[in-house]
Structure formats: C-alpha cells, structure tokens
Amino acid sequence: RRRLEEGLEAAKTMHKQEVDSLQVRMAAQMARISGDRGKSEERLAQTEAELTALRGAMATLEQELGVSREASAEAAAAQERAAKLEAELAELRAKSAACLKKAAEQRKQLEAKLEAAQAEHAREVAELEGRLAAQLGKVAADGEQTHSELQSARAELDEAKRGSAAVQRELESARAAQRA
C-alpha cells in the first residue's frame, strides 16, 4: 500500500509538472497569437477553460489517491488532452500567420492600384494643363479664341483636378484603413 501511495504521489507530482508546463507553454503561445483578435482569442479562452478543467481533474486525482486505476486513467487522459491542445494551438498560430500574410498582400495590391490610378490622373491633368496652356497661347497670339471655349477647357481641367484629388483621398483613406 505504501508503494502504491508513493507511486500515486509520484504520478500526481508528474501530472502537476505537466499541467504547469502546459500552462507555461499556453502563456507563451497566447502571447504569440495575440495579433489575431477574432477566432484566436475565442479559441484561447476555450483553451484556458480546458486548462482549468485539467486542473480540476488534477484535484480529483488528489482526492482519489487510494484508487490507482482511476488515477492512472485520468492522468493519461489529461496528458492526451494536453497534447491535443498543443496541436490545436500550433494550428491556430499557422492560420493566424496565413491571415496576416494575406492581409499584407492585399494591402500591397490595393496601394499599387491606387498609386497607378493616381499616376494616370496626374498624367491626364498634366496633358490637360498642356492643352490649356496651348489654347491660352493661341488665344493670346491670334485673339480668335472665344470665351466659352476657354471656360470649357478650364472646366475640363478642373474636373481632372477633382478626379486627381478624389484618387488622392481614396489612396490616403486606404492607407489609413490598412494602418488601422
């Protein structure tokens, strides 16, 4: 009986060390995946609840020191669950990293598209400014340009500038959204 109690005490100590080790690993893994606030936080909360359940199982083992078969079975089940939890946390870390990578790629693509649109609008504005300058030069040179044609050219230039400003605001908004 003394050997059995010593064996159970050793099993209890080993189980406590495993639970403590699991708790330390859980804390480290929780720190690594804190960037993924959605499903990861939900899963971490569930994992903490399961860890609390494991501690409850350990308390049950301490109360049932006299029943070696049940204590051994529960210790083995707790170890198996701890291994499953570790595997689930590794999977969550991998999913979180993939999500972050995908978001970074999408942000880069969006910025590239917006910058290309801004460059195109800048080119159009420069072209319209050149045409307006040529038209103004022609008006000054021969005095035949009508006032309505000049207003039309200015309106076209103003429209292009508004389009360029809208693209600039959209680019800044997208960058601000990506930073948030």
Asked which of 7-11, 61-65, 151-155 is least confident by mean pLDDT, the reply is 61-65
Instruction: Give every CB contact of residue 79 below 8 A, 6+ residues apart in sequence.
Output: 15, 18
pLDDT at residue 58 tops 80: no
- Kindly report the pTM of this predicted structure: 0.34
pLDDT digits (tens, 9 = 90+) for 76-121: 888 998 899 899 989 988 998 998 899 889 889 988 988 888 889 8
- Work out the mean pLDDT of the chain and round it to a whole number: 80
For residues 28 and 92, is the Cβ–Cβ distance under 8 A?
no
Phi-psi region of 143 (alpha: psi -120 to 50; beta: other; left: phi over 0): left
